[in-house]
Structure 1
Amino acid sequence: MQDAQLEQLARETGLLLLEKGLSMTAAESCTGGWIAKLLTDIPGSSGWFERGFVTYSNASKTELLGVREDTLALFGAVSEQVALQMARGALSNSRADLSVAVTGIAGPDGGSAFKPVGTVWIAWVNGETLVAERCWFAGDREQVRRQTVAHSLGRLGAFCATK
């Protein structure tokens, strides 16, 4: 997905949030704040983007989002359990109505047979509704991160449409 397409997706997400009267927060690991950057590039985004958390290290996931150390030890940072705890933590540590969280292996290293490069877990939380999805994105580091951002925002739009 090209920059212009990502920017359009971010604008559409913002318009939908504004229309619904909702605000969001993002907890990002493998995207390093790219979701928050895209959203806050939009003038007026303070009306619907509440805050972002860049939690690249395991310690930051624990300290800022309340991800449990035993969850990290048992399942690893790139897991459904951690993505859900990140999304819940972002929501509970903000004033937002919904959250998105991403954690993954963008590469070029860090993959394994069980979790190859391109493995990403994305979670969305909207009050009591929790959704997590495992994705496998092909390409280099930039492509994996770009696809993660696009998928996160695309599904977020559908997710907040139901609120």
Structure 2
Amino acid sequence: MHRGSGDTWVEGPDGARYWGRFGAAGLLVVSPRSEVLLQHRAAWSHFGGTWGVPGGARHEGESAVDAAVREAGEEAGVPAAALHVRFTSVLDLGYWSYTTVVADAADRFTPVVSDPESIELRWVPIADVGDLPLHPRFAEAWPSLRERL
């Protein structure tokens, strides 16, 4: 872990654990075909086997947008230059936060599984997202995110 990295667990007052000392962020990329890029999480990961968005812990001083774009590049080969950020949605627990960054992709690129956190990456039509076994927090956020799309 390099200096300033937030790669560690935060424990809430109720004992629940959340990844990212400085919070976390994920990128919900929307293609020109009205699809979103989803990540099938590795079995060993937190809520493994579920679908969510590429993302992870923020580094100290790193903005949520920068963290989401960095993580999506590392985990899925998302080309930062092809993105236009549309909006953010924040879950703030007071002691930890998660920011979903929603961005349009200029083109439908081919995602690349580039680390062991992913089983698969897939473009999913917006109408079909709810049919997948979603990461519990993403499942909670999805109805509101879908409405804003």
Structure 2-normalised TM-score?
0.31
Structure 1-normalised TM-score?
0.29
Richer in strand (by share): 2
Larger RCO, structures 1/2 (Cα 8 Å, 6+ apart): 2
Richer in helix (by share): 1
